[in-house]
Amino acid sequence: YSSKRLTTPYTLYDLTLENNAVEKVNISASLKRAVEQQEFELWYQPIIHLNDNSLYGVEALIRWPRADGSYTSPSVFIHIAEQTTLINQITDWVLQQVSKDIVYFESLGLALCIHINLSAKDLQDPKLIDKTSSLLNGNLTSQKIMFEITESAMMTNVEQAKMAMAQITATGGTFSIDDFGTGFSSLELLRDLPVKQIKIDRSFISNIHHKDADLAIVKSVIFLSQHLNCAVVAEGVEQIETVDLLKSLGCDLAQGYYYSRPIQITNFDSFIKKSVA
């Protein structure tokens, strides 16, 4: 088997591609149904203040359950949805779900910042501002809303992004650059777009103890953020050593499995009780 594998790598490669293509068609078809039937769940992952370990907010992360109880990963289906207008319908559902869940977050008596991921196509959607402003004008009393956008989504059409972001900013929303460092990391974006926060991608955080280059990049992004008056979040924090190092570097916020995986809103209560105890 292994020698066959060595002599015909291209056959195996093609097969994978083919399977991926078939899988993609399958997912696209069931995704359409999932959107119509609202088969999604919205989970939340805590984001923590590094200085005092208090809860700063949560990131809303979509979940698509299968019949057997497992989940199709959003890193698979969001990418497929982004190739069609299904992504806009998914974002509509997320915004509506957050406006329902906010009632619960309000009831906790905490002032949280709720993060929502937006795609490039959302920034091109002329109805986006209406949809976000109905959320921003709705049930919000102590809760704030921040939208996460990747560098490449902002770059897709900078002028359009700038306009949409300015409109949303005027209605009380704020913006964070997601997965910072993995896109084009244009300093022009940081200068010209109304960004209040930078999220350093997990790929720089996970090797921060072993790779000098990653440490240098993280230090520089923290320094840059501070001088731009942006808050800075470390994504993918899994170990206490990383927490300590990030604290010593002056990083503001952290998110990752060390604190909590994304959880269902029904489990949030016990997360809070556990973390306060």
Q: State the residues that interact with ligand C2E by CB under 6 A.
A: 45, 60-62, 73-75, 78, 94, 117-119, 148, 178-179, 202, 236-238, 255-257, 262
Residue given tokens 């997360």 in the structure block: 271
| Residue 62 contact partner, candidates ligand C2E, Mg ion, none, CB within 5 to 8 A by sort of partner | ligand C2E
Judge whether 234 and 209 are in contact, CB under 8 Å.
no
Residues 6+ apart with CB under 8 A from 17: none
Q: Closest CB to ligand C2E among 118 and 251?
A: 118
Among 88, 97, 117, 255, binds Mg ion (CB under 5 A): 117
Tokens representing 193 are 């777009």
- State in angstroms the smallest separation of the CB of 273 from Mg ion: 26
| Residue 184 contact partner, candidates Mg ion, ligand C2E, none, CB within 5 to 8 A by sort of partner | none
Q: Closest CB to Mg ion among 178 and 252?
A: 178
| Residue 57 contact partner, candidates Mg ion, ligand C2E, none, CB within 5 to 8 A by sort of partner | none
Q: Phi-psi region for residue 236, left (φ > 0), alpha (ψ -120 to 50) or beta?
A: left
Q: How many residues bind Mg ion (CB under 5 A)?
A: 4
Distance between CA atoms of 199 and 114, rounded to whole angstroms?
Answer: 14
Q: Closest CB to ligand C2E among 62 and 113?
A: 62
Judge whether 200 and 237 are in contact, CB under 8 Å.
no
* Residues of this chain, 160-199, that bind Mg ion according to CB under 5 A: 178-179
Q: Closest CB to ligand C2E among 123 and 230?
A: 123
Stretch that binds Mg ion, among 114-122, 138-146, 205-213, 262-270 (CB under 5 A): 114-122
- State in angstroms the smallest separation of the CB of 203 from ligand C2E: 10
Buried b (16+ CB within 10 A) or exposed e, 187-207: eebbeebebbbbbbbbebbbe
- Tell me the chain's radius of gyration from C-alpha atoms: 20
- State in angstroms the smallest separation of the CB of 255 from ligand C2E: 6
Kindly state the DSSP code that residue 35 receives in the 8-state scheme.
H
What is the number of the residue whose Cβ is closest to ligand C2E? 256
Side chain identity at 272, as an amino acid letter?
Answer: I
Stretch that binds Mg ion, among 8-16, 130-138, 144-152, 158-166 (CB under 5 A): 144-152
Tokens representing 18 are 């083919």
| Residue 75 contact partner, candidates ligand C2E, Mg ion, none, CB within 5 to 8 A by sort of partner | ligand C2E
- State in angstroms the smallest separation of the CB of 44 from ligand C2E: 10
Strands 113-117 and 55-65 come out as parallel
What is the DSSP code string of 219-250?
A: HHHHHHHHHTT-EEEE----SHHHHHHHHHHT
Chain contacts with Mg ion (rule: CB under 5 A)? 117, 148, 178-179
